[in-house]
Structure 1
Amino acid sequence: MDNLLILSVVVIMGTMLSGEAAMYTVGNSAGWDISADFPSWVSNKTFYVGDVLVFQYNKYHTINEVDKSGYDNCSTDNTLLTDSTGNTTVPLTAPGNRYFICGVLTHCLGGMKLAVTVERNQTLSPIGAPVGAPLSPFDPQSATNPASGITDGSNLPSFISRSSEFGKGCGVLSWLCTLGTLLMVLAVKL
């Protein structure tokens, strides 16, 4: 009986965490490359706080997060974040616009740049609940060392693994599963 309760709690927690974030491989199978069509790739996606961008690229490219001016002018003069490891993971930690370019000028001018708009999560909150500020070392506006904003993913939470196809409705489904499991556990005890 106690084992059933422990198993139920583990299943409930796993189900609840499965709908929290989406990972997007930028450019799909082309990756972060001059051949990718980034405007088309981003056009049918909605990004939320907690989602993660994964940039996969070869040694001839870099990933640079810049401001709007840097994006428009393909300039790395005021780079917020930079990486050239070939596999860069960028958590989206706050709502707003984010801009990424390849640091190779001719690549950026050829279209190797990406602008994403990050929306607030569509989570179920009690009415009147305050919206807290994101607490993350990856927030480019609050980091004392902006270069720390790009990570190899080794320190990201393990639940960041679901694909983007599941949408944001998983939270409701998770709560329904939780309720069903609790009712089942109570019925077994009676």
Structure 2
Amino acid sequence: QKISDIQEVYSHPMALLQCKQFFKLHPHIKLIEDKDTAEVAQRIQKQKLKNVAAIASTLASELFELEILARSIQSIQHNETRFVIVKPSKKELPDNQLSKASLKFELDHKRGSLAAILNVMSDCKLNLTKIQSLPKIETPWKYAFFVDVTFDAVENFNKASSILTIMAENFKILGTYKNARQ
């Protein structure tokens, strides 16, 4: 098949969003949200679907013996989706290999509460790479924050964690790991 043959592309909503610019060049293609990128690739292979494509990884194309019609179609070239492999046995990295962490904490809706937290992170040489806030439905005017930070020295992270434990409510370290870009 060629791109001009494709009538529908199925993929996860985030994958479709991340490839929006590419599909502006192909307005004849209908974009359809699906729950899983690799599952769509598998469905195309099993059902031998024609005029249908998936946005999926190179690995999915290899696993399901599908031809790649266009590579690296994401709108932002260095945009990457993270996947986590969870396994039953716990293997901890030595502290000197840790350089990234995912955190959760809660704050009241009052002036300067988030700024104070961000100042501590900055003072402790943490680099904020992601922040997401969600209102706590059961507690009006309280927000949960999910944050990813990177750091060069685990000592800086440990110092920040000690301070944030005192400043923020329900402070949790969701995970520490080695930054993939190192």
Shorter-normalised TM-score: what interval?
A: under 0.3
TM-score (norm 2): 0.21
Between structures 1 and 2, the one with greater strand share: 2
Mark the structure with the bigger radius of gyration. Answer: 2
